[in-house]
């Protein structure tokens, strides 16, 4: 398998090269030169296949032999060794709970897969590998956990000051060791822009080997396909589901659409967005106009220029009609998000996190327009990670033991301006 840049000005790369580089030097994103098709009988046989077997079979064509099969299977085993249950909320809507991993967020899947791939590749190199990640909430914690104390790897996390929850911040700032956390006075988009600039800085790359752990990296992006197959495995017959995906940087939705094109049946995808509505506007007007992000209750989705949307366009050959035939987009306000959390808890006894609430509202609206349809929302993070859920419901959300332990740990974080040169200096120090 080869990977080309979506900007088409960089040479093609193998999976190994794409993972280690993170981003092509033309600032595009790596994309597979061909989309594998699922073999005949694959979907029908999901129930007879373990989760790790499914993960291995799905990802193997993308790895293209750059990791031996036995090691790749072991990586898949470690990636999905926690539950991913499909839970019924109503007769029409179920939630795929992706928050049962070590950092209680869906990004554990991609972060665990990538960390183990990078660990494998890094044993072939003598110099340190700098893993640089910008986060709007959950990515940083998942990456930090996945790479913590891995020999030969330094992790640098950039997050926007005042725009993550208390629990998210503790997950970012309490590991120490080989994890350096920078709290930038700016937005997530500014954090992401700095990370991208570092990856494209040729002079910096001569002095420090840097790769990205954001979903711009194919090893973070591609394994997110796994849990769509696990959802289908637990789907109780009938027509394929509508799936609503809380969407911020759009890596999650892009992976689901990729799985669909490969042969996984889905009735329709819904890109469920908050007030950061650049993609819903694109669906309405046909014009893609990035804008500054705004803060919302669903903070991990506060992205005004989603990097991975270009991959969704690439999947459809940049044909917006084909995109709209399979996908819809919706923008949900904070007021509606809070109302949804209250209503679902009161009527069905289920506690949504703000991102899941955005997806629930979006799919509820869509299902009202169709007959005999059922659907799935992705619950991407445990509600304990969001201060707002307790405020909205007026009750304490029970905390898993792993969260309670966080409050006993000491924070280690450096606050600084959202300035590229300052971050660059930190990278150079860690590379020595």
Return the C-alpha torsion angle 346, 348, 351, 353, nearest 10. -100
**Nearest-CA neighbor of 139 among 19, 62, 248?**
248
Q: Are 291 and 279 in contact (CB under 8 A)?
A: no
Q: Can you tell me the distance from the alpha carbon of 379 to that of 377, in angstroms, rounded to the nearest whole number?
A: 6
Report the residue count for the chain.
432
Annotated active-site residue in 107, 161, 233, 385:
107
107 is catalytic: yes
Instruction: Say if strands 86-88 and 93-97 run parallel, antiparallel, or are unpaired.
Output: antiparallel
In sequence order, what are the beta bridge partners of 270? 244, 328
Looking at residue 36, what DSSP letter applies? P
- Whose tokens are 């306000």? That residue is 333
Tokens of 72: 């790749």
Tokens of 196: 């991208």
The Cβ of residue 173 has, within 10 Å, a number of other Cβ atoms equal to: 24
Q: Helix, strand or coil for residue 71?
A: helix
Q: Are 375 and 232 in contact (CB under 8 A)?
A: no
Angle at 408 between CA 399 and CA 351, to 5 degrees: 15
Q: Can you tell me the distance from the alpha carbon of 196 to that of 133, in angstroms, rounded to the nearest whole number?
A: 9
The Cβ of residue 172 has, within 10 Å, a number of other Cβ atoms equal to: 29
Q: Are 393 and 336 in contact (CB under 8 A)?
A: no
Q: Helix, strand or coil for residue 377?
A: strand
The Cβ of residue 422 has, within 10 Å, a number of other Cβ atoms equal to: 14
Q: Are 306 and 189 in contact (CB under 8 A)?
A: no
Instruction: Answer left, alpha or beta for residue 141, where phi above 0 means left and psi between -120 and 50 means alpha.
Output: alpha
**Nearest-CA neighbor of 110 among 24, 10, 217?**
217
Q: Are 400 and 384 in contact (CB under 8 A)?
A: yes
Q: Helix, strand or coil for residue 157?
A: strand
Q: Helix, strand or coil for residue 372?
A: coil
**Nearest-CA neighbor of 89 among 394, 392, 376, 359?**
376
Active site positions, annotated: 107
């Amino acid at each position: 398998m080869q990977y080309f840049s979506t900007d088409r000005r960089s040479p093609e790369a193998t999976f190994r090269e794409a993972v280690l580089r993170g981003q092509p030097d033309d600032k595009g994103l790596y994309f597979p030169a061909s989309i594998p098709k699922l073999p005949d009988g694959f979907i029908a046989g999901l129930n007879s296949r373990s989760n790790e077997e499914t993960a291995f079979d799905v990802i193997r064509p993308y790895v293209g032999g750059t990791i031996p099969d036995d090691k790749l299977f072991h990586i898949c085993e470690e990636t999905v060794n926690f539950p991913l249950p499909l839970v019924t909320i109503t007769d029409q809507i179920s939630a795929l709970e992706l928050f049962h991993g070590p950092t209680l967020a869906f990004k554990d899947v991609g972060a665990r897969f990538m960390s183990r791939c990078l660990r494998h590749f890094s044993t072939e190199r003598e110099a340190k590998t700098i893993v640089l990640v910008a986060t709007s909430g959950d990515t940083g914690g998942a990456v930090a956990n996945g790479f913590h104390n891995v020999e030969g790897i330094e992790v640098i996390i950039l997050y926007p000051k005042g725009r993550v929850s208390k629990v998210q911040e503790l997950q970012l700032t309490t590991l120490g060791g080989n994890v350096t956390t920078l709290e930038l006075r700016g937005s997530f988009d500014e954090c992401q822009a700095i990370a991208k600039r570092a990856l494209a800085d040729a002079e910096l790359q001569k002095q420090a080997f840097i790769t990205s752990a954001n979903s711009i990296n194919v090893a973070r992006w591609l394994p997110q396909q796994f849990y769509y197959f696990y959802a289908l495995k637990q789907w109780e017959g009938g027509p394929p589901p509508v799936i609503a995906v809380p969407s911020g940087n759009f890596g999650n939705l892009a992976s689901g659409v990729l799985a669909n094109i490969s042969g996984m049946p889905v009735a329709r995808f819904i890109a469920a967005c908050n007030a950061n509505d650049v993609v819903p506007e694109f669906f309405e007007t046909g014009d893609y106009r990035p804008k500054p992000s705004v803060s919302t209750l669903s903070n991990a989705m506060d992205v005004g220029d989603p990097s991975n949307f270009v991959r969704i366009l690439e999947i459809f050959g940049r044909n917006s009609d084909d995109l709209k035939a399979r996908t819809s987009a919706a923008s949900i306000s904070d007021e509606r998000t809070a109302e949804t959390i209250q209503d679902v808890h009161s009527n069905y006894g289920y506690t949504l996190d703000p991102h899941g609430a955005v997806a629930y509202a979006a799919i509820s609206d869509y299902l009202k327009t169709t007959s005999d349809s059922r659907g799935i929302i992705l619950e991407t993070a445990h509600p304990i990670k969001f201060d707002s859920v307790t405020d909205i419901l007026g009750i304490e959300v029970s905390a898993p033991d792993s969260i309670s332990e966080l409050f006993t740990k000491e924070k280690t974080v450096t606050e600084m301006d959202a300035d590229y040169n300052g971050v660059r200096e930190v990278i150079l120090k860690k590379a020595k």
